[in-house]
A and B are shown apart, each in its own frame.
Chain A
């Protein structure tokens, strides 16, 4: 599954705009967080403070991710 990254999270994984996670069908947002931290330990401090967006909507940790969905890690926003 491809996961879009922004701002400091992207910086921490070496500047990649997206990473690919090997998640089983039925995986949840919470499992995605765990896999992200397992694959890129550098983001372990920041990911718990991030929201996860599925199809451009914030999703709680118990939400099951459709494999076709667009998924993104949303670090604390600082617009304005």
Chain B
């Protein structure tokens, strides 16, 4: 399951949704809004997406993860719009029969999201200034 949403991510429900009798392991990764980058203070982040392509890329990442690992269920959700410090911007939940695959698939999915999905964040500083974040290299 993949989704872009403007609403808060219910990661408890998401985790429950991927649980399965056939899977003995569930991993959950949450990306949250951090207050500091070096010495720079962040008040909020504003996320935007190229919607149709982002949805396609998320679906491709799910398909590739399912091809590589014996996944029971997987959920990839990214939030859009303005998020305050500590809010959840992205969630990846994965279930597999054994834990090593659950960790590996979860790691793969969040790394792929950060490299391939056309989503951008704009940083809002305390002075009210804003800046789009475009990393020098994907990380």
Contact = CB atoms under 8 A, between A and B. Distances in A.
Interface string A21-49: 00000000000000000000000001001
| Chain B interface, DSSP helix/strand/loop, else mixed | mixed
Interface in B100-120: 110, 113-120
Given A7-B48, A56-B52, A79 B90 contact: yes
A78 B118 contact: no
Given A7-B122, A53-B53, A79 B138 contact: no
A60 interface: no
Interface residues of A, number: 19
A59 to B, nearest CB: 12
A1 B116 CA distance: 25
B134 interface: yes
Contacts of A72: 50, 53, 118
26 contacts: A4-B50, A6-B48, A7-B48, A7-B120, A7-B134, A46-B134, A49-B136, A53-B50, A57-B53, A72-B53, A72-B118, A74-B53, A75-B120, A76-B138, A77-B117, A77-B120, A78-B120, A78-B132, A78-B135, A79-B54, A79-B78, A79-B120, A80-B90, A80-B110, A80-B114, A80-B119
